[in-house]
Structures are given as structure tokens and as C-alpha cells.
Amino acid sequence: MISKEQYIESLRKMNFDLYVLGEKVDNAVDNPIIRPSLNSIAATYEVAEDEQYADLMTATSSLTGKKINRFTHLHQNPEDLVKKVKMLRLLGQKTGSCFQRCVGMDAANAVFSTTFETDEAYGTDYHQRFIKFWTYIQDNDFVVDGAMTDPKGDRSKSPSAQEDPDLYLRVVERREDGVVVRGCKIHQTGMVNSHEVLVMPTVAMRPADKDYAISFAVPADSEGILLIYGRQSCDTRKLEKDADIDLGNQEFGGHETIVYFNDVFVPNERIFMDGETDFAGMMVERFAGYHRQSYGGCKAGVGDVLIGATALAVEYAGAEKASHVKDKIIEMNHLNETLYSCGLACSGAGKNTKAGNCLVDLLLANVCKQNVTRFPYEITRLAEDLAGGLMVTMPSEQDYNNPKLRPIIEKYLKGVASVSTEDRMRILRLIENITLGAAAVGYRTESMHGAGSPQAQRIMISRQVNMNEKKQLAKNIAHIKN
């Protein structure tokens, strides 16, 4: 395990071909737009160094027996899955934002078990290759971007049936020592803060899609990879002079990028699927399952911050004793704990795969995610109701720093006597950050992409539920014979 500082230093050595707001960025680590997202991942290292969180943040490697950061762990049992959810809630609480490191963990666990079953069917050696790769990750305590989502083009057509053959990432050349891939992964969370990228297919496939059934890992700054940084609501506030209050969350954030693979070479030992189309669906479904579970932890953690901020906002306004305020806070908590319950439930009901690591209950994981696509909107509504209009009509920090305006703002935006106007502004800006600003992406709308849209989950739910059993139960009770 490495320290937060070592992590940051290690990133300085990366050589990304990266563009932010139209400009090439050479030093991503110190870029003010990017830095908060780096800080969030850095927190996964810093908290792991804290002894009080050792049980949640670290684990014993099933590969090497060494102590590792749980973000690189292959879950061994339902308890591990539960601890994962608790760890993500903790990090959500510490950062109030997306900390980006789950995707790699979720990808690793999906690839680990899928390669095992692929090898069983095809006599390949993907599983050993992956073990070797993942041992390297654990030993170095690296961050891995788990890359799944392709642009997909016309969704009614399979990858190989697209007019433009590049709309799903694919093998364009085969060499003795590896393959060359081309394509694009979008919505890539945390890529600029990652050491490696672990690529998976994004849909179930048919034999004709052979060249698209490709899974592999390469360094995140490999030759041929180009990154375009996604823009967020309020992103340029970080560029404002002496930006502080108006950031809402001064230290942490998240990011997502377009990752363009412009004929990137992958050596054989880093290939974990190549043409076994019948296992593409398994890899996708398992990654999605793990990732939907993740949301039951991280969103509850960010929810804790939002609930706390809202409670402070009403307290600062002197309104915390009103019965409707209390009731809305209860409702926010109720929804937040329901999300968490779903995260715990799909974890506790996990079962071990043939490869030996533990897989979440896929049905309950989908149910968890489906709630994640709804409750944060309702929590947001309640937060904005309680925060009141000031959150969206408040003057800027620059106004507050203007000596002529400051006394006016101090006087008229003052809440209860014991709290400074500045602190009141800080807490309102934090709520804005989560409900409208940069963190809103991670808290709310991110749920709409990544490991499947809300509709994708619904389809999964309908497949995973045993309707025949339910119909038979009803027939039994209604005394229907056949």
C-alpha cells in the first residue's frame, strides 16, 4: 500500500494526451479544474492509512496474502461485499463527491470470475493472465479505470452490424505478440487519475461480433490513447480568483472523460477475452451488478453530507424546530437509508463464483440501482425546499469580498446570531454543489449512464425475477389446477 503523497507523485509520471476545455494539459495533477477529482481518489489512500478505518479500508489479498487497499480486493465472501458498501459510504461522507475508484474494483471482480469460466469452456489461460495483472495492481496499489461504455451508435444493431465499424471498440489488427485496438469509451470516470485502464465489452454479443469481444488492460497513458475531459456544471468556478466559498466543495470533486483508443497495442499477456462472444454478456452483467451495488454505498455517503448540510442550513436560518422541517429531514434520511439497505441486501445475499470470489445478488443489485435513479431526486427536492431561495439567488463570493458590499451582505443575509454569514453562504453553496453544481453529476445524473440506464436495469429485473414461481404460488392459493 502506498500513501496519499506517493499516489499523487506517481501520477506526475503519467504522460497523458489530455484536453480540457479545448486546450492540451500537460500537468494534470496541478490543474485547478482536475485537482479536486484527484483529491477524491487521494482520499481513498489517506483514509486507508487511518488505523480506525483499517477494517473497512484494507483487506488481505487472496492472491498474495499481503495487506492491500480494499479498492484492489477480490471479494471473498458476503462480508467482504458488505464491507465494500460501508467503505464506499465512508468515502462518500469524506468527499461529498464521486471518488472514482470503484469502477476498477468492480471491473476486476467481474473479469476475475469471467476469465475463469471462459478458460473452463475454451481451455484458454485468461484467468492466469488476469491474476498476474491484478497482483501487479495490488502490489503497486494502483488506480484502475474500469472501461465499459462504448458510444454504441444505432442501438438496434449489433457492434459488427454498425455502419461505422468503430462505434464499438474492436481489434483492428492481430500480431504475434498482441493485438491493436481502436474505438472509444465514453463516460470514463476518473481516467485522468488512473494508472491503468481495464477494458471490457459493453453488451452481450453474437458470433459475428468476434472482434468486439475484447477485454484487456493497458497503462492509462499508453501510446495512442487520447482523453477529452467532460465539462460539468459550474466547472469554471474553480478558475475564479481566490475561489473558496463559491466552490461549495473546496477540495473534492469527480470527473468523466472520453477515452479514445487510436490504434493502441495490447500485448498478449494483458488480453483477458478475445473473441469468446458467449462470455461477453457474463462480463457485462457481473460488472454491472457490482457497480449497481456500489451506488448503494457511495450515494448514501454523499446523501449523508447533503442531509447534514441541509440540517445546518435550516439551523443557521433558525428554523430547525418547525415540525415540517423535522419531517423533511426524516424523509431524507429514510430515503437515504433505504438506498443503503439495498446496497447491504444485495451484498449479504452474495454467492461465490466458480473462480472463488463473491458475486452480489444480481436481482437485488438492480433493485438497488433502480432506487438510486429516483431517490436522489426526491432528496434533492427536499434539500432545495429546506435550503430555500437564497441558495440560488445569493451574491457571489466576489461580491462578498467587495468592501462596499460586504456589510450589506453581512447584515441582510445573516441568519441566527451565533453563525457567521460566511458560514451560512458556505453551507448553501455546498448544497448547490450537490444539487445543481459539479457534484450533481455524480449524485444524480451519473445514475443515468455508466453501468446501464434505468431502463436497462428494469429489463434485468424482469429477467432475474422468477415469474413462473410467482404464478404457481398464486395458482396454488386460488385453487387453480393447471
- Minimum distance of a second copy from residue 54's CB (angstroms): 20
Contact indicator for 113, 290 with CB cutoff of 8 Å: no
Q: How open is the CA angle 437-440-442, to the nearest 5 degrees?
A: 130
Strand ordering across the sheet containing 196-199: 144-147, 196-199, 214-219, 271-274
How far apart, in whole angstroms, are the C-alpha atoms of residue 192 and residue 186?
Answer: 13
- Minimum distance of a second copy from residue 78's CB (angstroms): 8
Contact indicator for 344, 368 with CB cutoff of 8 Å: no
- Minimum distance of a second copy from residue 184's CB (angstroms): 4
- Residue whose entry in the numeric block shows the C-alpha cell 468556478: 237
446 is catalytic: yes
Catalytic site residue from 117, 256, 276, 315: 256
Catalytic site residue from 212, 295, 316, 340: 295
Q: How open is the CA angle 336-340-341, to the nearest 5 degrees?
A: 115
Cβ nearer to a second copy, comparing 68 with 247:
247
Cβ nearer to a second copy, comparing 119 with 315:
315
Whole-angstrom CA distances from 77 to 59, 73, 109, 362, 396 are 12, 11, 12, 15, 50
* Residues in the chain, total: 482
184 is catalytic: no
Catalytic site residue from 98, 184, 234, 346: 98
Catalytic site residue from 102, 184, 346, 358: 102
For the purposes of burial, counting CB atoms within 10 Å of the CB of 436, is it exposed (0-12), middle (13-18) or buried (19 or more)? middle
End-to-end Cα distance, the chain: 61
Residues 6+ apart with CB under 8 A from 470: none
Catalytic site residue from 189, 202, 373, 435: 189
Cβ nearer to a second copy, comparing 115 with 202:
202
Cβ nearer to a second copy, comparing 13 with 412:
412
Cβ nearer to a second copy, comparing 63 with 98:
98
Residues 6+ apart with CB under 8 A from 148: 107, 185, 199, 200, 201, 202, 284, 287, 450, 451
Strand, coil or helix: 136: helix
Instruction: Give 240's DSSP letter.
Output: S
445 is catalytic: no
- Minimum distance of a second copy from residue 6's CB (angstroms): 24
Whole-angstrom CA distances from 335 to 98, 224, 345, 376 are 19, 44, 15, 8
- Minimum distance of a second copy from residue 108's CB (angstroms): 22
How far apart, in whole angstroms, are the C-alpha atoms of residue 79 and residue 348?
Answer: 7
Cβ nearer to a second copy, comparing 338 with 352:
338
| Bridge partners for 217 per DSSP | 198
How far apart, in whole angstroms, are the C-alpha atoms of residue 244 and residue 174?
Answer: 52
> Can you give the three-state secondary structure of 179-207, one letter per residue?
EEEEEEEEEEECHHHCCEEEECCCCCCCH
98 is catalytic: yes
- Minimum distance of a second copy from residue 261's CB (angstroms): 11
- Residue 412 C-beta-side C-alpha neighbours within 13 Å: 9
- Minimum distance of a second copy from residue 229's CB (angstroms): 7
Give phi and psi for 222, each to the nearest 5.
-60, 150
How far apart, in whole angstroms, are the C-alpha atoms of residue 223 and residue 261?
Answer: 9
Contact indicator for 138, 66 with CB cutoff of 8 Å: yes
Catalytic site residue from 184, 298, 346, 368: 298
378 is catalytic: no
124 is catalytic: no
How far apart, in whole angstroms, are the C-alpha atoms of residue 129 and residue 136?
Answer: 11
Cβ nearer to a second copy, comparing 73 with 237:
237
Cβ nearer to a second copy, comparing 70 with 83:
83
- Minimum distance of a second copy from residue 93's CB (angstroms): 5
- Minimum distance of a second copy from residue 250's CB (angstroms): 5
102 is catalytic: yes
Cβ nearer to a second copy, comparing 177 with 478:
478
342 is catalytic: no
Catalytic site residue from 58, 291, 310, 315: 291
By annotation, the residues acting in catalysis are 98, 102, 189, 256, 291, 295, 298, 446
